[in-house]
Structure 1
Amino acid sequence: MPRHPSQGQVLIEKKAFCSWCRVVYDRGLVSGAGGNLSARMGEVVLVTPTGHSLRDMTPAVIVEMDIAGVVKRGGRPTREALMHLEILRRRPDINVVCHVHGDYIIAAGIMLKPGAASIPPITPGFAYAAYPLPLLPFLVPGSDELSMAVAEAISSSGRRAVLLQSHGLVTVGSDYAEAVNIAEEIEEAAKIYVLTKGKAPSLPMVIAP
């Protein structure tokens, strides 16, 4: 992707962005107007607008920002925009940030204690994709404190996911598929953890990272 994409290239990317927003919604990872997504394309960052469901995302409502946080086109971005931008600033290898509120992700985050590892490695997909998964204590959504804590957790460890107590999950990837796939793997592991009341046995840790 060029550093300064044309408006034609931006429109193509916005259509892909909308398709992935719908995937996230259809997978049950968000509800209502919850959750948010961002994607880097050169020096442009596409961000979901505030108060708009991923279910109904269209190219016309997507916000274009620069990496410094200046809105270049569109309305008001999600209140979690600072978190997205801070992650992208610190992780040049990352192009997509996905914040979801899956039911089982929320439930597991409430059941578990904050720390460097939360959900145990109870499925191969989760063990490969996101274990160990740090859990941050509850911080006010949209706050600077939350944004910096999430960005630090992801940038300092090189990890691609962090669980937020009572507030869902943030995943990152080099592209949409990677970020969303990780979120799905974690939601599945969280579901098994919750349904077994935390008693699902951990897999033998012979799985290579």
Structure 2
Amino acid sequence: MRCLKLQLIKYSRKAHERGLTAAFGGNLSVRTGSLVLIKSTGSVMDDMTAGQIASITLDGKVLSPVRPSSEYRLHLEVYKKRPEVRAVVHLHPPYAIAASSILKKELPIITPEAEIYLRRIPVIPFKPAGSVELAKSVAEGLSEVDAVLMERHGVVTVGRTLREAFYKAELVEESSKLWYLTRNSL
């Protein structure tokens, strides 16, 4: 358990350092069996500590003294829809948010790396943050792909490990940036 918490801290800080989220935004989680470890509500990713990681069950029962992120429903719905997934990353990268505000269906794939690791990046229509509707829409959007953009809200990626899910999120931001920089010439 300690190892998973250290991974959450490492990749939370890395997300902030790389400009993939700011202030209170974003949340990462890992699943082990029927237990989910997730960033607590109100914590900031660049100074995460083990005490700011909430523990919840797959049915949403809080087992820790700290409350989970307001997006915990999104994480739980994804884990229920995709039992093989062991990590969910939700970040607010600037180019991904810009792309999701302009595009309505899907982010065009430009690089071979994105084509290999992401295949497609659908855009999920806007739903209020933290809502059941958003959670269900994202889980459905991730049923056959490992990354989605949420309109005006950011990116959600999944993986078998937190490392894998994190680097997929970074790849979505790179893809969004490349699309944004070349959109008038495509």
Contact 2:28 2:88 in 1 (8 A): yes
Q: CA deviation at 1:59?
A: 0.6
RMSD between aligned residues = 1.2
Q: CA deviation at 1:200?
A: 4.9
**In the alignment, does 2:152 pair up with 1:161?**
no
**In the alignment, does 2:124 pair up with 1:131?**
no
Task: Name stretches of at least 5 consecutive residues in structure 1 with no aligned partner.
Answer: 1-9, 202-209
Contact 1:30 1:101 in 2 (8 A): yes
Aligned amino acid, residue 135 of structure 1: V
**In the alignment, does 2:164 pair up with 1:186?**
no
Aligned equivalent of 1:13, options 1, 4, 29:
4
In structure 2, the residue matched to 1:31 is 22
Q: Which runs of 4+ in 1 moved over 4 A?
A: none
What is the TM-score with the length of structure 1 in the denominator?
Answer: 0.85
Deviation string, structure 1 residues 72-128 (Cα, Å, up to 9, x no partner): 113111111011011111211100000011000011111112x2xx22121122111
**In the alignment, does 2:153 pair up with 1:199?**
no
**In the alignment, does 2:57 pair up with 1:69?**
no
Structure with the greater alpha carbon radius of gyration: 1
Q: CA deviation at 1:51?
A: 1.3
In structure 1, the residue matched to 2:44 is 53
Equivalent-residue separation in structure 2 for 1:200 and 1:81 (angstroms): 39
In structure 1, the residue matched to 2:159 is 173
Contact 2:89 2:165 in 1 (8 A): yes
What is the TM-score with the length of structure 2 in the denominator?
Answer: 0.95
Contact 1:192 1:200 in 2 (8 A): no
Q: CA deviation at 1:194?
A: 1.2
| 1:79 alignment partner, SS class | coil
Q: How many correspondences in the alignment?
A: 186
